[in-house]
Amino acid sequence: HVDDNGEDDDDDNDDGGGDDDDDNDNDDDDDDDDDDDDDEEEEEEEEEECHHRRHYHHHHHENYHSFLLIIYVRIYSHSCLFALHAAISLLYIITEI
């Protein structure tokens, strides 16, 4: 009788423990979702600020951006000499601004 009671008690404890674990897992998931929503809102605000800054920067430094583009194009087309020439030209523009 002692063994049977012991086994029954173990089963009850296991089931109860399993239920408790599931509840805790669900609570954790809910918390994570809330954090993700907050992060997304912050990211959207940062993206808007960056867009405004980029827009302003673009109008005041169009030459700077065009030379950066030239450098990237030359590097990706494996023309190191032209990339170096564009970089030197960019340095002159920066010193003139």
Say what the pTM is: 0.22
Tell me the pLDDT tens digit for each residue of 20-57: 555 555 555 555 555 555 555 566 666 666 555 555 55
The residue among 67, 93, 71 whose CA lies nearest residue 83 is: 71
Tokens of 66: 């065009």
CA distance 74 to 79: 5
Tell me the pLDDT tens digit for each residue of 1-17: 555 655 555 555 455 55
Tell me the pLDDT tens digit for each residue of 54-85: 555 545 556 777 777 777 776 666 666 677 77
* Residue 6 CB burial class (10 angstroms; 0-12, 13-18, ≥19): exposed
Angle made by CA atoms 83, 85, 87, in degrees to the nearest 5: 70
DSSP 77: T
* Residue 91 CB burial class (10 angstroms; 0-12, 13-18, ≥19): exposed
CA distance 30 to 37: 11
